[in-house]
Structure 1
């Protein structure tokens, strides 16, 4: 019998997670059963449970996949020259996250589950820390382009990044629960924030 490679296992895990995400998009986390995910994937129950012990385990994989992809986006952005404006970076980030998840509501559900599932909370915290580090790298480089020296640029970036994460979370939350939320106007308003060096951050 051919040996199963780690690449094959990883690809199968991604395939199952993608099927789970489609179910979550349609029925939400609470409304999705493992039976739904098994049917959506077209795999046997044994194949699913070989890779994931339960639905919460699958939720974790979905979060990892989506946020790791956004980490790659931020790393690519930080390497650009010249760097795009911060408002554009936030726009790219939040629209990519919600597009890949199939809507803002799923991410709100992830936060709700993380509030009561310590393992998922630890996973989300680690990924947000990773994203924060990449945002800090971007903002440090952007402030350098605006004329700040290296130390001042890094300090300013570290102070600003938690606010940027909050702005991104605010977009997701409002888009998920407010029927009249104007997403384009919210994102356009980011351009009114004075991010430039030598001026108040907000």
Structure 2
């Protein structure tokens, strides 16, 4: 019997995760059955269970991947030197988040913001996923604190406000934008970018 290559195994796992992500984004984690996933990916139960023992394990894999992708985007932004202004930086970061996983099928990628909302709600009931979310949030927050400290040192931002407070606010703006994008009409990233720029301009004279 021919040995299955690692490339083939990885591609099959990718196929399963992408199909499941699309199902979960459409109907939520708990309204989606493994039969729904099998139908979406066009594979037998045996083929899928070779990679994931059940729906909870599949959910955990997707949540871990989504959170890792998101944290990577913001950590990459934090490494830019010098960092661009906050409105530019948050716009770039959100654009990258919405365009994550170029290898994902178009249908699954277009549902990515809705999947993020599903991930947030799932972590409320699962302690293991909650701990994973907390760890990713800490990494993203640390990245933004570093960015804000850079702004303060460069005289671009007032230094009498704790950098952590500003970081939390920027994260909240990004999370709120993602929620609007997923729940309502697809809000353009430019709306968030322009809004941050307008808030930054308060106190300036024309």
TM-score (norm 2): 0.71
Alpha-carbon shift at residue 83 of structure 1 (Å): 1.6
Whether the aligned pair in 2 keeps the contact of 1:64 and 1:127 (CA below 8 Å) is no
Indicate whether 1:169 and 2:178 are aligned. no
Count of residue pairs the alignment pairs up: 191
Determine the structure 2 residue equivalent to 1:29.
29
Whether the aligned pair in 1 keeps the contact of 2:91 and 2:192 (CA below 8 Å) is no
Alpha-carbon shift at residue 10 of structure 1 (Å): 6.0
Partner Cα separation in structure 2 for residue 79 and residue 179 of structure 1: 32
Partner Cα separation in structure 2 for residue 187 and residue 124 of structure 1: 25
Q: Which runs of 5+ in 1 are unaligned?
A: none
Alpha-carbon spacing, 1:178–1:147, altered in 2? closer, same or farther (3 Å): closer
Higher helix share: 1
Q: Which runs of 5+ in 2 are unaligned?
A: 101-108
The residue correspondences of 1:92-171 to structure 2 (distance < 5 A) are: 92-100=92-100, 102-146=111-155, 156-171=162-177
Partner Cα separation in structure 2 for residue 52 and residue 67 of structure 1: 19
CA RMSD of aligned residues (A): 3.5
Indicate whether 1:61 and 2:61 are aligned. yes
Q: Write the deviation string for residues 140-163 of structure 1: whole angstroms up to 9, x where unpaired.
A: 333333378xxx69x833222111
Alpha-carbon shift at residue 18 of structure 1 (Å): 1.9
Alpha-carbon shift at residue 190 of structure 1 (Å): 0.8
Whether the aligned pair in 2 keeps the contact of 1:78 and 1:138 (CA below 8 Å) is yes
Alpha-carbon spacing, 1:82–1:112, altered in 2? closer, same or farther (3 Å): same
